[in-house]
Amino acid sequence: MYRVMGAPLSMRKSHQNSTSRSLIPLGLGTVFAVILAVGAASSPLLAAAVVLGVTLWMVLRADGSRSARYRAVLEQSPNGTVIADATTFQIVDANPAFMQALGYTAPELRRLALTQIFVDESAGAAGLAAKLQNPDPRVPMPLRQRRKDGALLEIEATGYRLILNRRTTLAFSASDVTLKRKIESQLLEKQQHLDHLAHHDQLTGLPNRLYLAHRLPGAIEDAKRAGTMLAVLFLDLDRFKDINDSRGHETGDKLLKTVAERVRATVRDEDIVVRMGGDEFVVVLQSVERAELINEMAARINEALSAPVIVDGRPLNATVSIGVSLYPRDGSDMGELLRHSDTAMYQAKDRGRNNFQLFSPVMARKLRERVAIEASLRAALERGQLDVHYQPIIDIESNRVMGLEALLRWKHPTHGYILPGRFIDIAEETGLIVPVGEFVLQRVLKDVGFWQRAGASPVPVAVNISAVQLQRSNLRDRILSLTREYEVSPELLLLELTESTMFERRELRGGDSRRDAISQLRDIGVSIAIDDFGTGYSSLGYLKQWPVDFLKIDRSFVRDLVTDMSDLAIVGAIIAIARHLNIKVVAEGIEGWQQLEKLRQLGCGLAQGFLFARPASAAQCLKLLSGLPLSLTDSTAQTGEFEAGPLTATGT
Ligand code: C2E
Ligand code: MG
Ligand code: MG
């Protein structure tokens, strides 16, 4: 730029040298050259004109009849040039290009002032006058030019002060930039469109994560300045993956669109609603003056989404779990606020979904714990720190061991044995349950093979299967290949599924495919048990439709069986219905003789609990597998989990 700009300065020098010889023609020639050269800076077309102008000027300098030729240069120039008085702005002269562009004749123009021709809406009359009075020849001014017919032209004017007949004048060269401006505005439009694409989500039309990254820091600054609060709501649809898996992505997309619309319609115009990706949305509530507003808004979003969404004529539930963090209470920057709202969202999921939770520091601690557990569980799996223990399932009448339940154990190098209650949920959430479940299955079949070779009489082994495992791993094929590998009959396997794993979201097609998956497992000889019965959906009606072999009554009903009449009634009803449907019942968590007696009276066939034995290693269990009835010794002196329980096989 400055290299090009250099030209006018050298011109100026020549002009000063020659003023004494012939003021008017040289003055005009110099001005013209200066103007052309300056114009060259802004357009390649003008650059050509500059070359032409300079050449002509040089030729003319060498020529005697300069005046006429200068005039020719000016008159034939395609660029409009105008000269005006520097004080009054009265137009003194203009070349034909200038007159033509404006539609004025020379006499008409001479009656006008520059300020009547040039327009600058942004500067006002005084501002325009100041600009014209002191033009910088290196910087073209974006102005408008009023034609005689009133039309306004977009121009760039390059001006220069010069002395003409001892009078200070101003010369301006104006180039029409209408086309240039049009192209610029098209480019700008295109840029804005690209910008919109980059900052918005295609599916829902909502702003995206990138947009949030640009906007949120500013919104936090605004809140800081205004002394108001700002809330970040992290939304995650409940079980969206199930919907996608069972009804297809197209349905999932339609659902997301409706969710986006409902959320947008629920919050205020000034609030920001962003789709972060997948089924995650963020709402930023700005200028919050009262904390109650946040609760109100979050509750309204939950409510707006609790009405089923009809997609392709079928209703879908799109409830949402919301985590809320507040500026300044829970964080001072975007990263912290987003992290904490995300933590609170997980808490909302834990609390049964379809609700909102405000962030608290306790949550953050729990989350850190979870993250730590996840990492060390992953390592435990790789380092062979996982183990499986077995707890016998007893036939109440014969006292024989009718089965074993495989229970996962984590042999932590420093914390000792960790029970699954501490890590199964995390394993499920992170998908780690798939390799963990695979480990359990493999270990169980290996142990059954070991017991068989050791001459034990085989009993079915119950393995706990989580919903994620049922969905994500091809259980049937895995079982077939592992049973073949360890030479164990699939009939020795019993899979325990919780009610929610089996029945939840039955309204989705997933319900059918899950039933099919379970039927296929039964087809290869595997038995199915519903675990923790009574704690989930508890619809006895389901039992009629689902292929189930065993029902395990949850420990919470067994615990107070002796004292609580309603527990007694529930357990009695479950046993009666199951018997009617030909489903065997196992009572879980039996710790006392009175409980056992009650269950016997109610007609419960099978029992499991510390009364008989605590879970123990495969080697310790071997002595329980003689096939002979067991004698129950007094259980008051309970042994630890890793010793054999009070149960011993008769004759051993
Ligand atoms: P669950 O399947 O209902 O297993 C029974 C739980 O009750 C076991 O706890 C067992 O040790 C405990 N228990 C048995 N008898 C008594 C008793 O008389 N009193 C008391 N207080 N407790 C008793 P554990 O081993 O801590 O397992 C807890 C849960 O973890 C299991 O409940 C099951 O849902 C899950 N789990 C265990 N192993 C696995 C596994 O390999 N895969 C999956 N997905 N889940 C597992
Ligand atoms: Mg179980
Ligand atoms: Mg259970």
Rounded Cα distance between 491 and 637, Å, is 35
pLDDT given for residue 116 in this prediction: 95
Is this prediction's pTM over 0.85? Answer: no
Rounded Cα distance between 530 and 578, Å, is 12
> From residue 498, how far is each of 123, 309, 526 by CA, in Å?
75, 28, 16
Long-range contacts of 64-71 (CB under 8 A, 24+ apart): 66/22, 66/25, 66/26, 66/29, 67/22, 67/24, 67/25, 70/25, 70/28, 70/29, 70/32
C-beta of 464 in contact with ligand 1 (< 6 A): yes
What separation in Å is there between the alpha carbon of 456 and the centre of ligand 2?
Answer: 23
Lookup: tokens for 281: 């949305």
Residue 294, burial from CB neighbour count under 10 angstroms (0-12, 13-18, 19+):
buried
For ligand 1, mutation pick of 381, 386, 393, 407 (most atoms within 8 Å of CB): 407
Residue 107, burial from CB neighbour count under 10 angstroms (0-12, 13-18, 19+):
exposed
Residue 74 phi, psi (nearest 5): -65, -45
> From residue 414, how far is each of 387, 495, 538, 640 by CA, in Å?
15, 32, 40, 19
pLDDT given for residue 561 in this prediction: 93
C-beta of 410 in contact with ligand 1 (< 6 A): no
Rounded Cα distance between 451 and 445, Å, is 10
Neighbours of ion ligand 2 (CB under 5 A): 464, 496, 531
What separation in Å is there between the alpha carbon of 552 and the centre of ligand 3?
Answer: 6
C-beta of 25 in contact with ligand 1 (< 6 A): no
Centre a 10 Å sphere on the Cβ of residue 221 and count the other Cβ atoms it contains.
Answer: 11
- The CATH code of domain 200-359 reads 3.30.70.270
Rounded Cα distance between 49 and 64, Å, is 23
Concatenate the DSSP letters of all residues of 536-575 into one string: S---HHHHHHS--SEEEE-HHHHHTTTT-HHHHHHHHHHH
C-beta of 92 in contact with ligand 1 (< 6 A): no
Centre a 10 Å sphere on the Cβ of residue 442 and count the other Cβ atoms it contains.
Answer: 15
C-beta of 609 in contact with ligand 1 (< 6 A): yes
Domain boundaries, the chain: 3-181, 200-359, 370-636
- CATH fit for domain 3-181, picks 3.40.50.2300, 1.10.3720.10, 3.30.420.40, 3.30.450.20: 3.30.450.20
Rounded Cα distance between 594 and 643, Å, is 24
pLDDT given for residue 164 in this prediction: 83
pLDDT given for residue 377 in this prediction: 93
For the chain, how long is the longest CA-to-CA vector?
A: 138
Residues of the chain with pLDDT under 70: 1-64, 503-513, 536-539, 633-652
C-beta of 501 in contact with ligand 1 (< 6 A): no
Concatenate the DSSP letters of all residues of 424-476 into one string: HHHHHHHTTHHHHHHHHHHHHHHHHHHHHHTTPPP--EEEE--HHHHHHS-HH
Lookup: tokens for 536: 């989930």
Rounded Cα distance between 209 and 284, Å, is 12
Rounded Cα distance between 519 and 281, Å, is 38
Strands 527-533 and 550-553, sheet pairing: parallel
Cα-Cα-Cα-Cα torsion 339, 341, 343, 345, nearest 10 degrees, comes to -140
C-beta of 440 in contact with ligand 1 (< 6 A): yes
Q: Are 395 and 605 in contact (CB under 8 A)?
A: yes
For ligand 1, mutation pick of 436, 441, 464, 590 (most atoms within 8 Å of CB): 464
C-beta of 595 in contact with ligand 1 (< 6 A): no
C-beta of 432 in contact with ligand 1 (< 6 A): no
Partners of 282 in the β-ladder: 234, 274
The amino acid sitting at 476 is: R
What separation in Å is there between the alpha carbon of 464 and the centre of ligand 2?
Answer: 5
Lookup: tokens for 158: 């390059």
Give the number of whichever ligand sits closest to the CA of residue 608: 1
Residue 21, burial from CB neighbour count under 10 angstroms (0-12, 13-18, 19+):
exposed
- For 240-278, what is the HEC assignment? HHHHHHHHCHHHHHHHHHHHHHHHHHHCCCCCEEEEEEC
C-beta of 534 in contact with ligand 1 (< 6 A): no
- CATH fit for domain 370-636, picks 3.90.930.12, 3.20.20.450, 3.10.20.30, 3.40.50.1820: 3.20.20.450
The mean pLDDT value of the chain amounts to 85
Question: Which residues, at least 6 apart from 237, have a Cβ–Cβ distance to it below 8 Å?
Answer: 255, 256, 259, 279, 318, 319, 320
Q: Are 508 and 242 in contact (CB under 8 A)?
A: yes
Which numbered atom of ligand 1 lies nearest the CA of 427? Answer: 44
Rounded Cα distance between 376 and 339, Å, is 22
Lookup: tokens for 592: 């006392």
Q: Are 428 and 435 in contact (CB under 8 A)?
A: no
Please tell me the number of Cα atoms within 13 Å of 625 on its side-chain side: 25
Rounded Cα distance between 142 and 156, Å, is 5
Question: Which residues, at least 6 apart from 185, have a Cβ–Cβ distance to it below 8 Å?
Answer: none
Nearest CA to ligand 1 atom 4: 407
